[in-house]
Structure 1
Amino acid sequence: MIEEHPKGATPVQVDWQSDQYWRNRRLSPAQLQVHDIRLEDSGWRTNSDEMLEMREVLSSTLLPALGNRDRLANAIPYEELTKNRSEQMNLRNLANEYGWMNCLRSKDVQQSVTDPESFRKCRWIHISSKFSDYLSGCLLALSDWNEKPSQVVTALQRLEHCVYQQERFSKHGRYFAPFFQYLHGGVVDKKDCTSDPMLLSVPFLDWSVEGEPPPLRFQIDPREGYQSSRSSSHLLRSILQHFYRLEDTADRESQQVFTKHKPWLTDRNLDLKVRRWYGHYPKSLNVDELWVLVIDARHIVTFSSNQSWKSRWPPLQLSARIMEISFRGIRNAFVNSSTEQDYTATTHVITCLSGSLGMLHRSFWSDIPLCLADRYASYLGHLQFRLHRSPSTSLVMHLLQVQEELNIIIQIMQQQMDLIKELQLASNSGRNRGYSHSSAREFHQQNATSIPRSGIATYRQMSFSHLSDPSAQLLENLQREYIDLCDLRDNSNTLINRTIQLVNIRLEDHGKAILVFTIITIIFLPLSFVSSFFGMNFADIRDMDRTQGFFWIIAGSLTAGTVAFAMFLAFYGSSILDWFIAWKENKKRRSRSKKTALKEAARGIKASGIKNFEVLDTMRPR
């Protein structure tokens, strides 16, 4: 049982590194973000006294439970679960390394506000690091070994096979293909599929700064500081590295739209808003991965890259975004729903997906400044202004770069929507046929005076969901952003075609000017040559007794011949060249066929037994 500090109490500072036990562990309680979803008294709502709230559990509150940290490692019957020595050793190593996390597990499920503080609806643990061996360690440590330990071993085996099957390799590090898979040992129980362990991985877009990121507030795994860990961890990749996984994109990163286009340089108000909101200028678009490991209906673990250099309010870190925005939106949908719903780990999967997939989209949180669609729309507007002023081939290259990035983003969003649809099909298989995705209860506007002054701004910034099914709302928000980005891609294609047309029109004008210059050059080139020839300072040319008419006769004849020859080449030069190439190929073909005929005749004569002088006599013409 885990005790929490009372509200308003000063947290106790614990030096975890002073203990040799935690110095030898890859993970310690200080490196985990533990959150509890509980029913609490709202205090300001008139129609309901209970409301779901998410509270972060301080690491110092885990000290009483961690006194029994080696209990799981000593209690697992390794020899009874498997006869394979290597599997026994693997289980023992995982239990010794991650077994202390079993202290974070409890069976107490909260049913009402009056339940003790140790009761909860769901416990969520977030780890800001992505090593694939974390998955096996968390599944082993947080599973229930008292009921069916053989199923836990089976789930671990299926997890290892799933990681091996879904992990991909690239020049820029490892990554998972978008997938989700249940880790049960047999057939899925459609009536209670929420209690089955599940692993999910999905890519999502996030922003970063150009170059090296600012210093991290905390580091999860000590191996992350070494170059050798890059081969085993799943690194944060840029949008170009995500698409060109086998190519080096270092010379193209500076051409990203997020890097080139800086709208805050020309807008003072936007500059103040961006600096106040982000703290840094978002100059790079990256692709991160969200891993979701569902242990059972009440325990869930998520993994992502370490973005601790970002602020927690405004919620720019993934864990803060899920806690402050996504959870409250789904909580509000539950409050305004006509059916009573339980908040389980399956529901929190949708909450985590909503927070990660909507990190840069306005449909998930309307207060976000300079969202993804606005960034590309602003840059396309800038390129359209340049198009009206001076269309050029360089402008076409910029538009092609925008179109390429939009295609990559649309492809990622298509993968996200496909994954959510498959997840809906898997979850709906256990529901009743009469279940409705829409809410039958109307939303009643609350009086602003009933909200405490300290919570008005936060309440207004909550995302509101009008669908009772969180996955349906998530899919709808993604489809809205998907349509906007597809429209931007179509606009970029239209601008490309229009720019090419204007460039071709200008090239036609340039072609006319070149034709005029060519005609003048052809006419005056022979005249210049003849003038230079007769102007040479030699005795036989200087002492000529000819008149000026002789010069014009030669110059006119040479000019007429040059112009006629140039016109002949212009109209018949390609035909003459084609005829010459065909004649040359036919000549080679005839000589090759003649040599082949002679060789075949020689082979036939040699096979008939005729001697050399008889061969010569036979080949002599009669």
Structure 2
Amino acid sequence: MPVDWRATPADAERLPYDYDADPSWRAKPLTPARVLVYDVGLESLRANRGPMLEVSERPPSSLVPDDAATTKAAGIARATDAAANPIEERRFRRLEDEFGWIRHFRLDEAKENSQGSQGGTHCRWIHCSSKYPDYLYGFLYALTKDTDAVSDCLELLHVNVQQNQRFSKHGKYFVPFAAPLVSRTQQGDAPSYPMLVCTPWLDWSINGKIPPLRFQVDRKEGYHSSKSSRHPLRSILAHYFRLEDTRERERSQVFTKHKPWTTDREIDLKIRQWYGHYPSALNVDEVWILAIDAKHIVTFSSNQTWKSRWPPQQLPSRISDVAFRDVRNVFYRAQQHGTNDYSAMTHIVTCLAGAVGMMHRSFWQDLSLCLTDRYAGHLGHLQYRLHRSASTKLVMDLLACQEELNIVIQITKQQLDLVNQLQEFMGDNHSRIDRVFSSKPSSTNDTGRKPSVDHKKSTPLDPTSTYRHLTASSFNDPIAKLQDNLQRELTDLEDLRDNANTLVSRTIQLVNIRLEDHGKAILVFTVVTIIFLPLNFVTSFFGMNTRDIRDMDATQSLFWLVAVCVTIGVLGIAIFFAFQGGNILEHVNLWLDARWERSAESSNAALQRHSTFSLGSQKNDTDKTQEPKS
């Protein structure tokens, strides 16, 4: 029987410690109150179904003693033993003083061994809502058990950070990479620990002030992670145009202009019920994953966009409430084959699935505003405008949408390449469950998509392991399922880009055809104007009844005053309608369409009420005819 690996009642009754009031804790860059700790282990929620893997949040204050802010003599001795020279010893002493308390997050191996293989925690997951490289060094130093390997691991971490860190006008960022923090001689067939993984992922932004995180940890930036200069949250335009100021172009994003909830009441109700905010822009965030060993993993991400817990839009909630459930179903079926090894390598795949699938329907079937639907809806609206009237402004809107699709496709390809690279690092021995449920395709079809797995050959889903979240992929291997879902989304996005290219070409052709007709009309008006304009001027000038020409009191100044004012007024009105007439016509058409849709909805509702009333009247008449006569 599995043991109760969650927090004890004594830990639950313990009041949270005020770390900000303690001078020793206040001097540290990070405190336990600003870290999330989760345990992945067996738990019996229902007596008739047996144990299953669950993710449970542990209060960090129950794991870290209040006096852990003071560096113990054992910690100083550990820093001295791990260092190879005095300079490194000084550095390790600083890490020990700032991050040495993180060592209390390690699982008690003696306790885990006494509970047996079926009990205890399979994996401990720590999440830090920040993206400071200093925290990478601190967690790696504190959680690494092997003192002799600490120096080499930190050196390789420093090398990877320097090699993969880039600079731009909008702040520093990482290129996607996955690298083991061990030397080549130490790498074997088994997974290499520790390992660092970094990948970008897409998220929404909202109107108004960005809501705070559940835990703000960046004291150097005044607890504002989104305003940090180190790996900040960037828009897709700022992510792609790294040396340009894109603030003026942010208002032309598809997520800013296209608002389907203004005309679709069902989508509007879902957004207000589920999210509470209207998404206004598309942003790019980064997630860092540091796998210390098989039982300890740390993730870093700012994720400043949403503060809601359900649906899980914050990254840790997304991973624990959605992505983990799908992977857990595989492990439930794997228990029937005698394996339930959930390690940190498997949780890397779970974290990647939760991050990269934040806005993709292939990862989350009941997502109301997925990425492909937003772009497909906007392209449909642009196509409607194309049928109504083609213009150069429509060409610019199509080019902007095409540009955003290219950026999203580039990010998706980077994510897919990272997953393939991670699979190569894991090899065939990254977990026993992959050997049991390996179903990777050996070839691709002509379209470039991986062939789907035959559902008849797949392991049937047990009724006791069904949950709300089911992906579109039929693969059983978690990393193969992640690859297939990303490939599906990439194919859909590429199809949308091809449609955008077709619309751009068609719009340019129609604009050129109309410009040819306009050129003929302009030629006619030009010829007429050239002939009659001098005649009209001469006639009007010599027909004035002024003192200079005829015997009147008024001079020519009155003529020129009126002529200049009328000319300026007519010229201004012409320029305004020439440059803003298309926008005015578009707003009028949208208002007419919205009014027509509202009238259609009211007509349908009235018709439904009338039909309901008619059915009720017929039912009452039928009941009266069937009543027995007295």
Q: TM-score range by the shorter chain?
A: 0.7 to 0.9
Residue 320 in 1 paired to residue 317 in 2?
Answer: yes
Q: Counterparts of 1:543-582 in structure 2 under 5 Å?
A: none
Distance 2:10 2:438 in 1: 40
CA 1:202/1:45 → structure 2, altered by over 3 Å: closer, same or farther? Answer: farther
Deviation at 1:231, TM superposition (A): 6.9
Q: State percent identity of aligned pairs.
A: 51
Distance 1:494 1:8 in 2: 65
Deviation at 1:7, TM superposition (A): 7.4
Match of 1:303 among 288, 300, 305: 300
Amino acid of the structure 2 residue aligned with 1:351: T
The number of equivalent residue pairs is: 525
Residue 5 in 1 paired to residue 7 in 2?
Answer: yes
Residue 96 in 1 paired to residue 94 in 2?
Answer: no
Distance 1:259 1:472 in 2: 34
Residue 345 in 1 paired to residue 344 in 2?
Answer: yes
Amino acid of the structure 2 residue aligned with 1:57: R
SS at match of 2:149: helix
Match of 1:36 among 24, 35, 39: 39
* Counterpart residue number, 2:16: 14
Distance 2:84 2:460 in 1: 62
User: Are the counterparts in 1 of residues 41 and 119 from structure 2 also a CA contact under 8 Å?
Assistant: no
Distance 1:527 1:221 in 2: 77
Distance 1:72 1:376 in 2: 59
Amino acid of the structure 2 residue aligned with 1:507: L
Distance 2:160 2:143 in 1: 19
Amino acid of the structure 1 residue aligned with 2:25: W
Distance 1:223 1:445 in 2: 49
Distance 2:472 2:112 in 1: 25
Deviation at 1:52, TM superposition (A): 1.0
SS at match of 1:249: coil
Deviation at 1:497, TM superposition (A): 1.1
CA 1:429/1:152 → structure 2, altered by over 3 Å: closer, same or farther? Answer: farther
CA 1:157/1:382 → structure 2, altered by over 3 Å: closer, same or farther? Answer: same
Q: Counterparts of 1:118-197 in structure 2 under 5 Å?
A: 119-145=120-146, 149-194=147-192, 196-197=193-194
* Counterpart residue number, 1:285: 282
SS at match of 1:126: strand
* Counterpart residue number, 1:437: 438
Amino acid of the structure 1 residue aligned with 2:358: M
Distance 2:437 2:204 in 1: 36
* Counterpart residue number, 1:105: 106
Residue 425 in 1 paired to residue 433 in 2?
Answer: no
CA 1:517/1:6 → structure 2, altered by over 3 Å: closer, same or farther? Answer: same
Amino acid of the structure 2 residue aligned with 1:405: E
Deviation at 1:309, TM superposition (A): 4.9
* Counterpart residue number, 1:248: 245
CA 1:370/1:509 → structure 2, altered by over 3 Å: closer, same or farther? Answer: same
CA 1:240/1:44 → structure 2, altered by over 3 Å: closer, same or farther? Answer: farther
* Counterpart residue number, 1:239: 236
Deviation at 1:422, TM superposition (A): 1.1
Deviations 1:282-312 (A, max 9, x none): 1111100000111111101000014385111
Deviation at 1:461, TM superposition (A): 3.5
Distance 2:30 2:278 in 1: 32
Amino acid of the structure 2 residue aligned with 1:130: K
Distance 1:382 1:499 in 2: 14
Q: Counterparts of 1:587-598 in structure 2 under 5 Å?
A: none
Deviation at 1:118, TM superposition (A): 8.7
Distance 1:423 1:343 in 2: 17
Deviates more, 1:165-174 or 1:345-354: 165-174
RMSD between aligned alpha carbons? 3.4
Deviations 1:102-137 (A, max 9, x none): 011125399899659993101000000110110000
Deviations 1:152-201 (A, max 9, x none): 1110111112111111111111111111111113424333224x111111
Match of 1:24 among 20, 23, 27: 27
Amino acid of the structure 2 residue aligned with 1:165: Q
* Counterpart residue number, 1:363: 362
Amino acid of the structure 2 residue aligned with 1:493: N
SS at match of 1:199: strand
Residue 202 in 1 paired to residue 199 in 2?
Answer: yes
Amino acid of the structure 2 residue aligned with 1:86: I
Q: Counterparts of 1:55-70 in structure 2 under 5 Å?
A: 55-63=56-64, 70=71
Distance 1:109 1:349 in 2: 25
Please report the TM-score for the alignment, with normalisation by the length of structure 1. Answer: 0.77
Deviation at 1:66, TM superposition (A): 6.5
Deviates more, 1:318-327 or 1:377-386: 377-386
* Counterpart residue number, 2:450: none
List runs of 5+ in structure 2 lacking aligned partners.
440-452, 551-630
CA 1:62/1:208 → structure 2, altered by over 3 Å: closer, same or farther? Answer: same
Distance 2:226 2:535 in 1: 76
CA 1:171/1:216 → structure 2, altered by over 3 Å: closer, same or farther? Answer: same
* Counterpart residue number, 2:620: none
SS at match of 1:283: strand
User: Are the counterparts in 1 of residues 103 and 143 from structure 2 also a CA contact under 8 Å?
Assistant: yes
Deviation at 1:5, TM superposition (A): 2.9
Deviation at 1:506, TM superposition (A): 1.3
Deviation at 1:511, TM superposition (A): 1.5
Distance 2:356 2:196 in 1: 17
List runs of 5+ in structure 1 lacking aligned partners.
543-622
Distance 1:386 1:265 in 2: 18
Match of 1:264 among 252, 261, 264: 261
* Counterpart residue number, 1:373: 372
Deviates more, 1:366-375 or 1:13-22: 13-22
SS at match of 1:220: coil
Distance 2:24 2:487 in 1: 49
Distance 2:362 2:225 in 1: 40
Distance 2:77 2:183 in 1: 19
Distance 1:72 1:256 in 2: 56
User: Are the counterparts in 2 of residues 183 and 197 from structure 1 also a CA contact under 8 Å?
Assistant: yes
Distance 1:291 1:266 in 2: 39
User: Are the counterparts in 2 of residues 123 and 298 from structure 1 also a CA contact under 8 Å?
Assistant: yes
SS at match of 1:193: coil
Deviation at 1:40, TM superposition (A): 1.9
Q: Which has the larger radius of gyration?
A: 1
Deviation at 1:62, TM superposition (A): 1.7
Deviation at 1:274, TM superposition (A): 0.6
User: Are the counterparts in 2 of residues 177 and 202 from structure 1 also a CA contact under 8 Å?
Assistant: yes
Deviates more, 1:57-66 or 1:295-304: 57-66
User: Are the counterparts in 2 of residues 35 and 124 from structure 1 also a CA contact under 8 Å?
Assistant: yes
CA 1:376/1:533 → structure 2, altered by over 3 Å: closer, same or farther? Answer: closer
Deviation at 1:230, TM superposition (A): 6.2
Distance 1:430 1:445 in 2: 25
Deviates more, 1:493-502 or 1:231-240: 231-240
* Counterpart residue number, 1:549: none
Deviation at 1:278, TM superposition (A): 1.1
* Counterpart residue number, 1:591: none
Match of 2:475 among 467, 476, 488: 467
Distance 1:50 1:314 in 2: 26
SS at match of 1:187: coil
Distance 2:470 2:153 in 1: 37
User: Are the counterparts in 1 of residues 42 and 118 from structure 2 also a CA contact under 8 Å?
Assistant: no
* Counterpart residue number, 1:384: 383
Deviates more, 1:340-349 or 1:314-323: 340-349
CA 1:45/1:327 → structure 2, altered by over 3 Å: closer, same or farther? Answer: farther
* Counterpart residue number, 1:415: 414
* Counterpart residue number, 1:581: none
Deviations 1:305-345 (A, max 9, x none): 14385111111100000001111101112223475351100
Distance 2:123 2:435 in 1: 27
